[in-house]
Structure 1
Amino acid sequence: MTVNQMELQNLRHLIGSHANAEKKLRFYAQQCQDAQIKQMFEQGAQSAVNTRNKLMSFLT
């Protein structure tokens, strides 16, 4: 699959956004005292990682 310039820019933006979301969610999880909310943030962070990895697969 060949990615054109606009698609490449969009992928970079989406990958960066998911990386940023992961960092924020992990930070929020570290601040939580409530175990359920902490788990929710950690699951969200893992979901962002999974999506970022899937998006990165389009670059290879």
Structure 2
Amino acid sequence: MRLSVIGTGYLGATHAARSWVCRPRIVDGRGVLDPDRWTAAGWQFRALGRSAPAAEG
């Protein structure tokens, strides 16, 4: 198992960090990240205290 932890508030990290990981998944533990911005950048986004997005189909 591999785990990368990116602890930053830098908004440019959404696209930059995408190239650093094999499986782009992010968990927002503080509820401060913009889910739309991260999913638009190709990340699977989850946040503590928020419901999971509805499945497309």
What TM-score, normalized by structure 1, do the two folds share? 0.25
Higher relative contact order (Cα pairs below 8 Å, separated by 6+ residues): 1
The higher radius of gyration belongs to 1
> Which structure's residues are more often helix, by fraction?
1
> Which structure's residues are more often strand, by fraction?
2
What TM-score, normalized by structure 2, do the two folds share? 0.26
